[in-house]
Structure 1
Amino acid sequence: MMVRLQDKVALVTGGGAGIGRATVELFAREGAKVVIAEWNEDAGRAALDAVHAAGGEALFVPTDVSDEDAMKALVDKTLQAYGKIDILHNNAGGSTTNDGPIHTVSNDEFWLKMHVDVFGTWLGCRLVIPHMMEAGGGSIINMTSVNAIIGVKNRNAYAVAKGAVSSLTRALAVQYGQYGIKVNAIAPGRTLSERVLARQGNRGPEDLKDDSHLLGVIEPEEIARSVLYLATDDSSKTTGHTLVVDSGLTIQ
């Protein structure tokens, strides 16, 4: 069986759950050595165990992506273990139930989104790109959201953060294309991560159908397959692009 990431080294932030874990497991099945960055140690070790149980190779590094020293240590440990970073998936982040309209949401919630979603992505790119430049290329996949494309109620802080990630993606694609570095983003629609399921009372996909998602709500594995596309040479001439995987939400 042909694997598409043979001999590649992939760093995935927020790799312990949801889209991140699905991506970690898919990358490992495709032959990559995967570094799992995750602040929740139980989730990170569970993802590591799952990769090892399936015969893959992975490393878990407990990481707070909003902490510059922790991110420097993450990159250093990755390079010590594997010598390079071919793929960076800045996945850590997400919305919370504390978000809301701008006139009621707390400044703390706003800064949480800025620190994790925006600064965490900024740090990942800032610290990894020099090594990709030296190696002659690489692929960066950031995580934005349909909330950066259409207006959505009660997600004002999240929308600002994900809009910033989208803008950063385009800017970096222009800045670093000359070094063979692709920089793209994924904008998911409603995805059944553990966080979303818990917020919905752990109801399953059949219970969460709605008219806005034409093909049904999205499983984390379906987003992971899109991340894989952007990580491989199948997308060799795709950069600065936000791939919308939203089951038709934004076309209506």
Structure 2
Amino acid sequence: MGSLDGKRAIITGGGNGIGAAAAILFAQEGAEVAILEIDRAAGERSAAAAEAAGGTCLFIECDIAQPEAVEAAVGQAVERFGGLNVLYNNAGGATAHDGSLVDMPLEEFWRTISVDLYGSFLTGRFALPHIKASGGGSIINTTSIRAMKGTSGADAYSAAKGGIVALTKAMALQWGPQGIRVNAIAPGPVLTERTRGLGMTEEPGAQWGGVRPGQPEEVAAMALFLASDAAAYVNGAIIPVDGGAAAF
């Protein structure tokens, strides 16, 4: 038996990196998985990998910063699977245009807020009624250790991820009594397609106290725990998965 047998899950940004690793792992552990991804090629590739691993996976092309698109995508997943138990808000990230607030293009700030914070708000808004109707479940948001310690060079990303911390705690307070746990994972430096493109390598980073970069699968393992019934007493938590980087 898998730890997610009988669960129906949505993973945003499931085409690459942590989201793709989570889609495969959730499917292997028995969940029916819907990947919401703006990149069609990546989403289809990830869904095929999850299916090849022995699971059930549906790809839905979706821009999570667009309310109508998110509502339709959530509805499509619920119609296909007959309910919803887990939402993993993984989509997000910064670009090379992020930096100091006095230097970054203004549109970069709003792009980051739209995808990271507003996108998590929207998916939660449309998924929550279905999770409640299915008898409860788990919402997993994605923040960052940049929201837990002062770092330089990504002010838009830090602001968006700080907002997710506050949103997670507010949601947990409101929905925990109704059987819906809301927690957030705070990854440290993780080697993904996106971060490699921004210059991250496998070498330990001085900015993170000499901690090695993590692998997507190491973060996906925490998402699996939070999605499962083993985390039934975990609500409102912000959990670093960072090799200790937030301690420095």
Given the two structures, how large is their TM-score scaled by the length of structure 2? 0.96
TM-aligned CA deviation for residue 215 of structure 1 = 5.3
TM-aligned CA deviation for residue 213 of structure 1 = 5.2
Equivalent residues of 2:18, 2:192 under 8 A apart: yes
Equivalent residues of 2:17, 2:192 under 8 A apart: yes
Equivalent residues of 2:168, 2:184 under 8 A apart: yes
Code of the residue aligned with 1:3 in structure 2: it is G
Which 5+ residue runs of structure 2 have no aligned equivalent? none
Code of the residue aligned with 2:29 in structure 1: it is E
Alignment of 1:1-252 (within 5 A): 2-200=1-199, 203=201, 205=202, 208-210=203-205, 212=208, 216-252=212-248
Equivalent residues of 1:35, 1:78 under 8 A apart: yes
Deviation string 1:1-21 (CA, Å, 9 cap, x unpaired) is x31001111100000000000
Tell me, in whole angstroms, the C-alpha distance in 1 between the residues paired with 2:189 and 2:121. 24
Which 5+ residue runs of structure 1 have no aligned equivalent? none
Aligned to 2:35, the other structure's residue is in SS state strand
Code of the residue aligned with 2:232 in structure 1: it is S
Code of the residue aligned with 1:57 in structure 2: it is T
Equivalent residues of 2:141, 2:185 under 8 A apart: yes
Equivalent residues of 1:110, 1:157 under 8 A apart: yes
Tell me, in whole angstroms, the C-alpha distance in 2 between the residues paired with 1:210 and 1:102. 23
Decide which moves more: 85-94 or 129-138. Answer: 129-138
Aligned to 1:44, the other structure's residue is in SS state helix
TM-aligned CA deviation for residue 62 of structure 1 = 0.2
Equivalent residues of 1:213, 1:246 under 8 A apart: no
Distance 1:215 1:108, change over 3 A: closer
Aligned to 1:172, the other structure's residue is in SS state helix
The size of the alignment, in residue pairs, is 247
Code of the residue aligned with 1:209 in structure 2: it is P
Equivalent residues of 1:214, 1:247 under 8 A apart: no
Deviation string 1:110-140 (CA, Å, 9 cap, x unpaired) is 1001111111000111001111222221100
Given the two structures, how large is their TM-score scaled by the length of structure 1? 0.95
Aligned to 1:12, the other structure's residue is in SS state strand
| Structure 1 outlier segments of 4+, above 4 Å | none
Code of the residue aligned with 2:214 in structure 1: it is I
Code of the residue aligned with 2:217 in structure 1: it is E
Tell me, in whole angstroms, the C-alpha distance in 1 between the residues paired with 2:210 and 2:68. 43
